[in-house]
Amino acid sequence: MAAPAVEPGFESIFDGKTLDGWKNGGNWEVVNGEIARVKKGGSLVYSKAKMPDDFELRFDWKVAKGCNSGVYYRPGQYEYQLLDNANSPYGENPRQSAASLFFGVAPTKDVVKPFGEWNEGRIVCKGTVIQHWLNGEKVIDFDYTDPRYKTEIELLRVRGADLSKRGANISLQDHGADVWFRNLRWRKIPADEKLVSENLTPMPVPEAALKKEQERVQQLLKGRKKPEAAPKEEEHKTPKHTKTSGGWKHEELRRFKIKEAHQGVAVDGEFFYAITNEAIGKYRKDNGERVGGWQDAKDGRIKHLNAGVVLNGKLYCAHSNFPTVPMESSVEVWDTKSMQHLKTIDVTKVGGSLTWVDQRDGAWFACFAQYAKTGNPADTRVVSFDAHWQKQQAWSFPPDLIAQFGKNSSSGGSFGPGNNLFITGHDAQELYVLEVPGKEVSITWTAAIPISAHGQAFAWDRSEEGMLYSIDRKTDEVIVSRIKR
């Protein structure tokens, strides 16, 4: 039986005949046009595409008597709970009942149908708003930045959910009992579509269930070992990872002693531009001779310049007020010939500290970093803008790369060989290769190239393929290297 026609704007992710596009451990089958869990073997994962950041997912589901299952839709413990409330011990706690955001937010009421009957599920997420629907009724609607949900958010955190994370594959849970799905479809919610939260009041948790919940929280906390304090001499080292170079090779060619080599460097056909917090030096590429520069006034507005890129005779530099809060960010523009400051583009409203900018196919890409001093490094985002600096999309870095940043974030980024996105961290002597984000694809980390520079911002010399300019802030040097594959 073929899948029924979907609503306008939606895309079917199950054809009613096969499990094409789904990663299956052999325990899921298509039976009578439905996805059925038929034996033990693990979750069924939609591997064809990742969930958009802002989306609507619709699906029909039914469970066997006493069954507990779920739909995972964002990284970590984002679970739309599927449950036979009447015959499962989980049903006594609304925060664990059908249509709950499991172990966190309870529905407003119990509208689940008895086991063996079909239910209509619906998940809507846009920005910081999350909605769960069940059988045509909106039973969860909250903005996770609203302080009224402090208790619920803490429960989710303890369980392992980071509500800021995005870019997961849909996962249908095998929890040991039979469950069925049909009519799975989704759509990406456009940026201009408004979704206002009503902040619905969750069902109260009975005292007996609350006591069990608190005991479970203590077990979770107790089961997590406290991380050992790193020796002082190891404080600036980054976590180990298993990424290889992916066939990319680095060859250092030469170094120049440059006093402004503190934050980053930009480059064009004839010159490179060394960048420090409040100044820029212009140098010849062939011999490192200083031929110009720019210095802000003693009490000027420029506080913390970061990476730079030269495009069409203009130098675009990322700028922030780091570590001051609230955070402010801007793109500062200079004429490379005269080194006169031309204009400021305010991008503060995006949030975070701007560390790098680059342009691809007429669109701007920029990194808004979060540091342990001012926030959560996992909240760092790469954001795209149109030619008029209107925000379009945003992507997060994968968790293993965030771990590599440690307490810091991405200091440099630019599109380079193969049209890949390359980034650096704050200290590690590595250049990270990422797959260029598409319209509905999350950033993927593919390789880590050992390089001479200790993190910080860098630039590609677009007059010569694979020529990399980076800095060593400890020795005040600009490093010229070749990257090839």
DSSP state of 285: T
Residue 134: name the closest of 99, 173, 96 by CA. 99
Give the domain CATH number at 50. 2.60.120.560
Residue 151 has pLDDT above 90, yes or no: no
Distance (Å) of CA 225 to CA 213, 219, 220: 21, 12, 10
Residues 181, 270: one domain?
Answer: no
Question: Is residue 227, in this structure, part of any structural domain at all?
Answer: no
Question: Is residue 458, in this structure, part of any structural domain at all?
Answer: yes
Rounded Cα–Cα distance for residues 353 and 380 (Å): 9
Rounded Cα–Cα distance for residues 185 and 9 (Å): 10
Structure tokens that stand for 422 in this block: 């390359």
Buried b (16+ CB within 10 A) or exposed e, 236-263: eebeeeebeeeebebeeeebbebebbbb
- In which band, very low, low, confident or very high, does the pLDDT at 43 lie, cut at 50, 70 and 90? very high
The letter for the amino acid at 155 is L
Which H helix or E strand runs over 211?
helix 207-222
Residue 237 has pLDDT above 80, yes or no: no
| 329-345 confidence digits (pLDDT tens) | 999 999 999 999 999 99
Rounded Cα–Cα distance for residues 365 and 434 (Å): 14
Residue 353: name the closest of 334, 333, 379 by CA. 379
Residues 162, 286: one domain?
Answer: no
Residues 144, 275: one domain?
Answer: no
Residues 385, 291: one domain?
Answer: yes
| 242-296 confidence digits (pLDDT tens) | 688 889 999 999 999 999 999 999 999 999 999 999 999 999 999 999 999 999 9
Mean model confidence pLDDT for the chain:
90
Residue 350: name the closest of 323, 382, 375, 373 by CA. 382
Question: Is residue 228, in this structure, part of any structural domain at all?
Answer: no
Structure tokens that stand for 117 in this block: 């009957």
For 181-204, what is the mean pLDDT?
92
Structure tokens that stand for 363 in this block: 């669109």
Overall domain count for the chain: 2
Question: Is residue 370, in this structure, part of any structural domain at all?
Answer: yes
Q: What is the pLDDT of residue 444?
A: 86
- In which band, very low, low, confident or very high, does the pLDDT at 298 lie, cut at 50, 70 and 90? confident
Q: What are phi and psi of 15, to 5 degrees?
A: -85, 0
Residues 359, 406: one domain?
Answer: yes
Residues 182, 302: one domain?
Answer: no
Task: Name the region of 371 (left: φ>0; alpha: ψ -120 to 50; beta: rest).
Answer: beta
Rounded Cα–Cα distance for residues 113 and 60 (Å): 12
Residue 384: name the closest of 424, 421, 425, 343 by CA. 421
Distance (Å) of CA 348 to CA 54, 169, 389: 22, 31, 12
Q: Is 154 helix (H, G, I), strand (E, B) or coil?
A: helix
Question: Is residue 4, in this structure, part of any structural domain at all?
Answer: no
Global confidence as pTM: 0.54
Structure tokens that stand for 246 in this block: 């992916």
Question: Is residue 219, in this structure, part of any structural domain at all?
Answer: no
Residues 210, 300: one domain?
Answer: no
Residue 411 has pLDDT above 90, yes or no: yes
Residues 252, 123: one domain?
Answer: no
For 393-412, what is the mean pLDDT?
88
For 70-99, what is the mean pLDDT?
95
| 432-457 confidence digits (pLDDT tens) | 999 876 654 568 899 999 998 988 99
Residues 287, 161: one domain?
Answer: no
For 29-33, 215-219, 227-231, 337-341, which range has the lowest pLDDT when averaged over its residues? Answer: 227-231
Rounded Cα–Cα distance for residues 379 and 293 (Å): 34
Q: What is the pLDDT of residue 229?
A: 45
DSSP state of 39: S
Question: Is residue 235, in this structure, part of any structural domain at all?
Answer: no
For residue 209, give its domain range. 11-214
Q: What is the pLDDT of residue 441?
A: 55
The strand order across the sheet containing 353-360 reads 353-360, 363-369, 381-385, 391-396
Q: Residue 56: count other Cβ atoms within 10 Å of its Cβ.
A: 22
Rounded Cα–Cα distance for residues 389 and 391 (Å): 6
DSSP state of 111: -
Between 356 and 239, residue with greater pLDDT: 356
Rounded Cα–Cα distance for residues 188 and 9 (Å): 8
Rounded Cα–Cα distance for residues 40 and 25 (Å): 9
Residues 368, 433: one domain?
Answer: yes
Residues 252, 335: one domain?
Answer: yes
Instruction: Dump strand ranges (E) for 105-195.
Output: 119-126, 129-134, 137-143, 171-172, 179-188
- In which band, very low, low, confident or very high, does the pLDDT at 407 lie, cut at 50, 70 and 90? confident
Rounded Cα–Cα distance for residues 383 and 352 (Å): 11
Residue 180 has pLDDT above 90, yes or no: yes
DSSP state of 207: H
Structure tokens that stand for 158 in this block: 């303890």
Give the domain CATH number at 303. 2.120.10.30
Instruction: Dump strand ranges (E) for 352-438.
Output: 353-360, 363-369, 381-385, 391-396, 412-415, 421-424, 430-434
Question: Is residue 387, in this structure, part of any structural domain at all?
Answer: yes
| Spatial contact of 471 and 273, defined as CB atoms under 8 Å apart | no
Rounded Cα–Cα distance for residues 48 and 296 (Å): 51
Residues 30, 127: one domain?
Answer: yes
Which H helix or E strand runs over 318?
strand 314-320
Q: What is the pLDDT of residue 403?
A: 87
Q: What is the pLDDT of residue 226?
A: 47
| 366-387 confidence digits (pLDDT tens) | 999 998 877 788 889 999 999 9
For 70-96, what is the mean pLDDT?
94
